[in-house]
Amino acid sequence: MNGIFSDEFQATPYWWDKTPRPTCTDTTLPGQTDVLIVGSGYTGLNAGLVTARSGLDTVIVDAESAGWGCSSRNGGQLSGEIKPGYAELSRRYGHDRACAIVLEARKGLDWIGEFIRTEAIDCDFKRSGRLHAAHSPRQFALQAHEFRHQTKGLERAGHLVEKADLRSEIDSPFYHGGLVIDSHASLDPARYHQGLYDRALASGCRIIGNCRVTKINRNKDGFEVVTEQGRIRASKVIIATSGYTGSATPWHRRRIIPIGSYMLATELLDTSLVRQLIPNDRVISDTRKLVVYFRASPDGRRILFGGRVSLKETDPLRSAPPLRLEMLRIFPQLAQAKISRAWMGFVGYTFDKLPHLGEDNGLYYAMGYCGSGICLASYFGRRIGEQAAADPGAEIAMNGLKFATRPLYQGNPWFLAPTIRYYQIKDRLS
């Protein structure tokens, strides 16, 4: 094997070492249920918790094992932020709606912290704060201007870090300053998912893995859902598949852009080196369009590094070498560190870069978190579960937003390669 890989290398998520994917205890698909949820990640499990605890018979199915997708493949970074800024949102929707959308997303971050506490989920949740590092002097100047002129009512607590002081946050020659955002957080995503899974089961949800949905038929009583394990009738259906949305729901598939995000974990490092590189245990991202994101592992023994390194989708063995080179641009101190894990997952993006939830005569959906999936998938899952359970206060600012697609788009992002190339050029010039 290539010399950059350790002897223990596996092309599986680092998080699975401690928390393998659970084996679903339910293996038989029932004939009928009140609520059928398609997808057993953060969205589906949080929705199921609500519907089951509301007294609705709830079945959750997944094409793979529970949480096999991005819910156990992400970097464990929580922001509660959405991609479009206030200026862009206000142009689209006006001041009041723009503020409501931004604040609703941020509400999700506060909610998930309280939820993890009250449910007693042991998942290394920590209000670590984020360093959003500037990859050029121009970008730092822009950061500083925006931070000093925040929209009233949308202010974020934090502080700017000049390049001369940057070693207090990151020991890297690559960056030119940055912004620390106090509220952002970290966790172990697989342990968080396991906690959700256990509580969903305890609440009465039936969770059936390896049960791919192939078709959803609407009838006068609700829906007949065709799966690889048989058919099931449901009064309501919740689609919670995001970046893994398939042909069973073509309307949703035409509105989701699956984009692969790639990660690696180093071999075990000396804890003093990890503390030197990231002194305050922040989660870190940067100002490039093709963003990278990284952090220390919860035990402080590895660097976990993610990003986009190829024009087209590839496999972890091929993504690991260029991703490692990107890591070394930021941390040349890791030149001798080998890779112990490499993996990828599909992030669900949308054309307007906003998450979406809604309902069509009993068919509910929540998806398209655009890289902020831990927080937003959990929060939107809860909200769509409340809406399916007919909670009168469950609608949020994102309800009613047009969920747009593009002509001829069927779910295969043929435009991804030229878009990535464009962003590469733009990053070099910014």
Question: Residue 46 domain-assigned?
Answer: yes
Q: What is the pLDDT of residue 310?
A: 81
Q: Taking Cα atoms as reference points, which of 398, 256, 340, 329 lies closest to residue 11?
A: 340
Residue 41: inside a domain: yes
Q: Is 405 part of any domain?
A: yes
Among residues 176, 267, 213, the alpha carbon closest in space to that of 61 is found at: 213
Q: Using an 8 Å Cβ cutoff, are 368 and 377 in contact?
A: no
Q: Is residue 48 part of a domain?
A: yes
pLDDT at 2: 65
Q: How many CA atoms does the CB half-sphere of 134 hold within 13 Å?
A: 22
Answer for the pair 350, 78: CB distance below 8 angstroms, yes or no: no
CATH number at residue 200: 3.50.50.60
Residue 356 maps to a domain:
yes
What is the SS3 assignment for 86? Answer: helix
The predicted pLDDT at position 39 comes to 98
Position 261 scores a pLDDT of 93
Residue numbers of the domain that contains 27 = 15-74+191-257+351-421
- Let me know if residue 90 belongs to a domain: no
Q: What is the pLDDT of residues 11-59, one digit of tens each?
A: 999 999 999 999 877 889 999 999 999 999 999 999 999 999 999 999 9
Q: How many domains does the chain have?
A: 1
Helix axes 95-118 and 86-93, enclosed angle (nearest 10):
120
- Coil/strand/helix, residue 200: helix
Question: pLDDT per position in the chain (430 positions), as tens?
Answer: 469 999 999 999 999 999 999 987 788 999 999 999 999 999 999 999 999 999 999 999 999 999 999 999 999 999 999 999 999 999 999 999 999 999 999 999 999 999 999 999 999 999 999 999 999 999 999 999 999 999 999 999 999 999 999 999 999 999 999 999 999 999 999 999 999 999 999 999 999 999 999 999 999 999 999 999 999 999 999 999 999 999 999 999 999 999 999 999 999 999 999 999 999 999 999 999 988 999 999 999 999 999 988 878 899 999 999 999 999 999 999 999 999 999 999 999 999 999 999 999 999 999 999 999 999 999 999 999 999 999 988 999 999 999 999 999 999 999 988 988 888 899 898 8
Distances (CA, A) of 407 to 113, 255, 351: 40, 11, 12
The torsion defined by the Cα of 210, 62, 293 and 189, in degrees rounded to 10, comes to -90
- Phi-psi sector, 124: left (phi>0), alpha (psi -120 to 50), beta: left
What span, in angstroms and rounded, lies between the C-alpha atoms of 40 and 227? 15
The pLDDT of residue 135: 97
Domain annotation covers residue 60: yes
Single out the residue of 60, 15, 10, 16 nearest to residue 34, CA to CA.
Answer: 60
The predicted model scores a pTM of 0.96
User: Can you give the pLDDT at residue 237?
Assistant: 98
Q: What is the pLDDT of residue 142?
A: 97
In a domain, 319, yes or no: no
Q: Given the DSSP bridges, would you call strands 230-239 and 363-367 parallel, antiparallel or unpaired?
A: parallel
Rounded Cα gap, residues 182 and 301, in angstroms:
24
